[in-house]
Structure 1
Amino acid sequence: MQESGKKYGFTIAIKELVNTVPNLFRYTKAFIKKYNVELPDTWRFFSHKFDFYEGKNAESYVSVRGEKDLWKTVQDRVPMYHALEYMKQPGVDREQLDQYSIDKLVDHSNKKGIPLGNKDQFERSEFTLCHFWSNFEIARTDLFTSPEYRAYFNFLENSKGFYTERWGDAPIHSLAAGLFLNTSEIHYFRDIGYKHSTLGHCPHNSPNQLPYEEGPNYRHSYTAKEEKFWAAFDKPVEKDGVGTGCRCVCPTNSKSKDIENSGGSCIKDWAALLDDDQEGRFHFDLDVVEEQALKMYREYLKSHGGNGEGWVLSQDQIDELRENIIWH
């Protein structure tokens, strides 16, 4: 780690239980604002931002994740707008309104299908709840003794959250890494197996193992039977080069599923953050986009006998709407 400029290492990254940290993100945001913290790229692992939407319906898009989800949300909401505007017109025959638009209006009125933000959302950003599991962590001690970290810790201490909400060390260490370290300074030890309680990470073994040699100070603390068991590590996995582990013996029962492959893992988010081809950030005027999409929907109604069922944004229409996006 020292040779590679790494300051923090982890093996497991999972979602925190939101009810255990109800105000942690809010106080962290307050700390950022008070001290004008210049956030590194790692912060995106811990925070979803929604300030790229402008318009009267921006709050309805607070949980949109990426461009694909954006167009799906626009497509879902436009028929409702059509129904609302149609019924506002004086003297119209409401029975002439297509059933699909009515159904969408009813759905949204009943709060069905409306993306809801996380409880831990402040100033149009939201805690992803991702954190590095501190049961296994390797870090430079000067990360936690630095003036920046001490200021952050004291700020949280003064909020009394450690006592009133019992904040744990894992989310604190993780958010601190997000505040003060770049992704290039953090390492995922994917090749190291680790298990605590019911959560564990056990990688497939690499075909490129170095010969095993006992160190001069190695103590045989295992029995002969145990030594034999650990010496018979899992066969390396060579397909597509997925094997990364070093002489691991992984459990095979269904209750010991690798946390990396579970729904509560944040490893996919971490990998996406490091991806050179990751989707860029964007912002645009929702009012313009929704108005254009509404015209597209009404054209569809005219060409389909007033029946909106089956309407989807075509790729050409999406490309037209994309012209309103400002990428950065």
Structure 2
Amino acid sequence: MIPRASRICLILTAFLLGFIARHLLDQLPLSHQASTPSTSSLHSNDLTFNADTPSSNSNSNSNSNPKSNSSNPERVNAAFVILLQDKDLHNMRKTMRMLESTFNHRYGYPYVFLNNVPFTEHFKTHIRAMTTSDVKFGVVPEEHWSYPAHINQTRAALARKEMEARNVAYGESESYRHMCRYESGFIFHHELVQDYDYYWRVEPGVSFSCDLDFDPFLIMKTKKLKYGFTIALPEFVNTIPTLWENVRQFMKSHPEHISKRNSLEWISYDKGETYNNCHFWSNFEILDLSFFRSKAYTDFFNLLDQAGGFFYERWGDAPVHSIAAALMLQRREIRFFNEIGYRHEMYEHCPESPSLQLKCACDPKDNVDWAQFSCLRRFLET
């Protein structure tokens, strides 16, 4: 047994050594002290949690709110605009998660959701949970989602049956035709969209694969661009058999609306005699809304609407928007957003440059840009 006096000496010695060690640690540089991991350093460094990167264990409401973050750049007067139905809820939530994490958590642009019937409270609650940005929900006016007086509905129904028999894409769908007509001529004027200068069209189920360190809306504004796209493809010929003859009628009736520095060469191999079916894939598009609210575009849409091709055939909003942009805008007002990785259904734009690939999570082998049927190469060369 250690004598009592010895035990006291040992205790005092241990205390003294601990005091000396603590004093020496205090004299070390701060950088040496910080090398010892702590709970806070594991969260801030090893797991890369920070103000710009949402936690994988929380929803987007935990992100820093751009509206209260003075370090965020000034936003353009713009919004994401989405036309969808309640059944699209979960696909939309997945898309919003990607859009927020790759871009919008830094900028806080608002969302406008439109439906031809009122959204349920369940839909609204689950959409709001995906973002800290403002979210608005609206209903399409009935007169914009119904047959105009000049349309023969019997003829339209027969056309749908005939196109269904020929396996034309969406040939049988009545609602798809209302959607295409609405996107072609009315969505720019909806009361919830009317206050904005630009919009970015988003659809449920699309994916965004690249982190954006710039604001596409600001690019549009500062460079005075009117139309932005990521994918250019040919339209299904059997959906638009008489579209071009109506376009030619417009060009003849309204030469004042045709830009002298247009992109006609992109959409026609023979100086406007025929249409080569090239169009921007409008499920992604960033627009200067002033163009689509202009007299030139309004005259164009009204002529097409009177022709009835949205119902007697199956004219899509993609060729309508694209032809209008190609004819009435200057070539320099249209921009290919190569930096935005984007996928819709089977087609994907994946940036191929090494520098952009460092910001993306997509395989360049899946890039549709240089496929034989793609219209992008022709656009870039004209």
TM (norm. structure 1) is 0.47
Higher relative contact order (CA 8 A, sep 6+): 1
TM (norm. structure 2) is 0.40
Q: Over alpha carbons, which structure has the higher Rg?
A: 2
